[in-house]
Amino acid sequence: MRPLFPDYFRLHAKWRGNKPALLVDGQSLSWRDFNGRMNQVANALHADGVSRGKRAVIFMDNGRAMTELLFGLMKAGVASAPLNLSVSDAAIRAMIADCQADAIFVSAAHAARIDRLLTTMGREAPGLRICAGEAAGWTRYADWVKTGSTEEPTDRVQPDDILNIIYSSGTTGQPKGIVHTHQGRIDWAYDLASALRYNSQSRVMVTIGLYSNITWVGMLSSVVFGGSLLVADRFDADMCWTAIAKHGVTHFSMVPILFERLIDADPGPQVDTSAIGGMVSAGSPLRPDLRERIFSRFDCGITELYGLTEGVITTLDPEDATGRMASCGLPLPGSDLMILDETDQLCPSGQSGEILMTSRFLMPGYLNRDDATRDATYVDANGQHWLRTGDIGRLDADGYLYVVDRKKDMILSGGQNIYPQDIEAVLASHEGVSDVAVIGVPSRKWGETPLAIIASKGNGLDVKALREWANARLGKQQRIADVKLVDEVPRNPNGKVLKRELRAQFSGTEYD
């Protein structure tokens, strides 16, 4: 059997034992110490009856405890379900019940909230409850983990065991549990690490919540080669610049809005960025103007990653970016993609259609949702399974992918398909616009028409003048009916606009 993550961690401890593995909460752990803590987590779980094949929910802030738990659960063969802290109570309750968790781990700041939910769940509530900190009715993590032996667990993880369940962001519907196996995740990490230029000397800065698959890009790509993780409790632009200067950060992955904040806080050339070998932008499209600012500051440039947690990835290497600043690049080696029209026929170059992809790390399916798995699967004439992404894209003459928009976000106006992302790109270039989203709203004449929701950079933005400015630059069918100002465009922690919330907010809006 090929080695899986638990094997890699054990061997890192054996051969790279003194090498730094983790810097978090002001503490540094070597690979020997980090592996020992993973083993303690795994053995404590097994002693409490949470054996290989069971599941655990993690509802925690970034920190040492959460990092140890995520990797310790891998050692135990217990599937982790790390949950987004910003979702509603109803969604959290549904996720805990859906994954049939036997254990739950929380930070002290969230214990009371989770307590209230668990009291309503009866037998569905997890039995083992551990808190990183002090909370009434919870076992303290620092005490619990010490009960586990530092020896390697005896029950060996198998390739088809579930490593984690990542719940979808819910930007287009109810969250779904995306299943990743141990074999799928190790393949995913290897293919990504190769494409993103990770190695044993990588020092990876983590600034996004550890529940996010964007975080797992850098995290797993680094640890598979025995690199080092620098885990921050949250994103702070000044902290990032300090870490780059102090720790010689080589890699990090963030969403576009965080890169924008990082560039805006640039302290200048006194911070040497020459150690950085790779940066990844993911989660939402990277605007060409922002990409150019990043290229001008960082010699390594930036890799645009388009992907779905389900197992879809393309990357645009910095060397290929010239003349393709709006592209998401090519599939990872060993992966494949195609563009299909509404009748499932291949689209020629330049024609937009739905993006489908296949890879060796494609998810086996959605947890407890055979219906959703079937809907997301396309089987070709050769029996190959492909994932329907729900995204609209096109390929240029050289095969580079351009993501046009979400299929569900497309606006149908007067029988014409309108892609909000095209309109958003124009509006984002206006000097008075800080953030933008475009949605379709009812039109008595056209069926639907575009509505622009704008967060301005300051007071005094003339929305009528902005609408005229934008419409002068848009195609006739793309012209926006109106502009609405908001304090902030709602986004999830991965940077995706929550258009469902905007549609609800402006549901009563209708135009001629």
CA separation, residue 274 to residues 249, 256, 277, 444, 455 (Å): 10, 21, 8, 56, 35
Q: Which residues contact 321 (CB under 8 A, 6 or more apart)?
A: 291, 295, 301, 304, 327
Whether the pLDDT of residue 234 is over 60: the answer is: yes
**Distance in angstroms (rounded) separating the CA atoms of residues 79 and 70:** 9
Taking the C-alpha atoms of residue 496 and residue 480, their distance in angstroms, rounded to an integer, is 21
Mean pLDDT on 152-175: 83
User: Using only C-alpha atoms, what is the Rg of the chain?
Assistant: 23
pLDDT (0 to 100) of residue 404: 84
Q: What's the confidence (pLDDT) of residue 411? A: 87
Q: Rounded CA gap, 28 and 274, in Å? A: 24
- The tens digit of pLDDT for each residue in 309-324 reads 999 999 999 999 999 9
Pairwise CA distance, residues 365 & 360, whole Å = 13
- Triad 75, 6, 76: Cα angle to 5°: 15
The span from the CA of 382 to the CA of 275, in Å, is 46
User: What does the pLDDT average to over 38-59?
Assistant: 98
Residue 493 has pLDDT above 80, yes or no: no
* End-to-end CA gap in the chain: 65
Do 91 and 73 meet the contact criterion of CB atoms below 8 Å apart?
no
Please compute the mean of the pLDDT values over residues 377-400 and round it to a whole number.
95
The Cα 28–Cα 15 span in angstroms is 18
Q: Alpha-carbon distance 281 to 304, whole Å?
A: 5
Q: Average pLDDT over the chain, rounded to whole?
A: 93
Tokens of 140: 């303290």
pLDDT for 459 equals: 84
Residue 171 has pLDDT above 50, yes or no: no
Residue 239 CB: number of other CB atoms within 10 A?
15
Looking at residue 407, its pLDDT comes to 75
CA separation for the pair 239, 145 (Å, rounded): 30
Q: Is the confidence at residue 7, as pLDDT, over 60? A: yes
Structure confidence at residue 510 (pLDDT): 86
Q: What is residue 477's predicted lDDT score, i.e. its pLDDT?
A: 78
Interval 452-488: pLDDT, tens: 999 999 888 999 999 999 999 988 878 999 999 999 9
Cα–Cα distance, 217 to 280 (Å, whole number): 9
Task: Note the pLDDT tens digit of each residue in 420-458.
Answer: 888 998 999 999 999 999 999 988 878 889 999 999 998
Q: Please write the tens of the pLDDT for every residue from 96-138.
A: 999 999 999 999 999 999 999 999 999 999 999 999 999 999 9
Dist. CA 239–CA 242, nearest whole Å: 5
What pairs with residue 339 in β-bridges? Answer: 355
**Which residue did the predictor score with more confidence, 226 or 510?**
226
- In this prediction, residue 169 carries a pLDDT of 55
Average pLDDT estimate for 297-308: 94
Which domains are assigned to the chain?
5-234 (3.40.50.980), 302-405 (2.30.38.10), 410-505 (3.30.300.30)
Query: Quick one: CA torsion of 119, 76, 58, 161, rounded to 10 degrees?
Result: -100
Confidence of residue 172 (pLDDT cuts 50, 70, 90): very low
Q: What is the pLDDT of residue 409?
A: 85
Q: At which residue do the structure tokens 């960025």 appear? A: 273
The answer to which of 22-26, 188-192, 198-202, 390-394 has the lowest mean pLDDT is: 390-394
Report the alpha-carbon angle 88-108-24, nearest 5: 105
